[in-house]
Amino acid sequence: MKLNSDNQSLAESKILLLYILNKVGKPISHNELLELVSSIVDMNYFYFEQFLLDLLEDNYISKYMQEDVEIYEVTEEGIKAVNLTIDIVPGILKLQVDSKFKENLDSVKDKYSISAEYNHISEKEFLVRCKVIENNTTIFDLQTHAGSKEEAKRIVENWNSNATEIYPKILEDLTNE
C-alpha cells in the first residue's frame, strides 16, 4: 500500500485497520494483528504502527497488557466509527479483506496458539518453555531444563511440530488416578 500525504489514502488505511480489528471480534495480540493485517492488505510496518497509535489516541481501539503481551480490541467508539466510515473504502479493497480474512485469521491464530522457546542459563544449561495459548490466555505452560543447546532446539522443534499430540498426552497422564 503506497501512501502519500493524500488524506483520503491515510483515512482509508486507518479504516481498513479498524475494520479488520472489528472483524476479529475479540481481543488480539499485537503480533497476531500485525501478521493478520499484513497478510490481508499491503501495509508496511511503520504505517501499521502509526495507524495503531492514531487509533489509540482517538479512543477507537484500546490496548492493555496480558501476560506480558500487548492486546488490542475495538472500543464502542471504534465500532461506531468503522460503521460510519467504511463506505469510503473502495468496494474492491473491502472485498479483498473480506475474502482473505477468515483463512488468514485461522492461520495466524494457529501459529500463535502453540509456542516454545529456550533461554541460555549457563554453559551447559538451557531453560525450555512450551506453551499452549487460547483466546490470549495461557492454558498450558511447561518449563524444563536441557543439557545442551542442541537438546533445547530439539525440544522446541518437537513441541512446535507435535504439540497437538503431546499436550493431550501430558494432560491425560496428569489427570490419571
Q: What is the pLDDT of residue 49?
A: 92
pLDDT at 5 over 60: no
Q: Is the pTM of this model over 0.95?
A: no
Q: Does domain 7-112 fall into CATH 1.10.10.10?
A: yes
CA distance 97 to 27: 19
What's the one-letter identity of residue 116? Answer: A
Distant-in-sequence, close-in-space partners of 17: CB < 8 Å, separation ≥ 6: 37, 43, 48, 51, 52, 55
Tell me where in the chain the CATH 1.10.10.10 domain(s) lie: 7-112
> What pLDDT was estimated at residue 163?
81
Mean of all residue pLDDT scores within the chain: 82
Is the model more confident about 73 or about 39?
Answer: 73
For 58-90, the pLDDT digits (tens) are 999 999 887 677 888 899 999 999 888 888 877
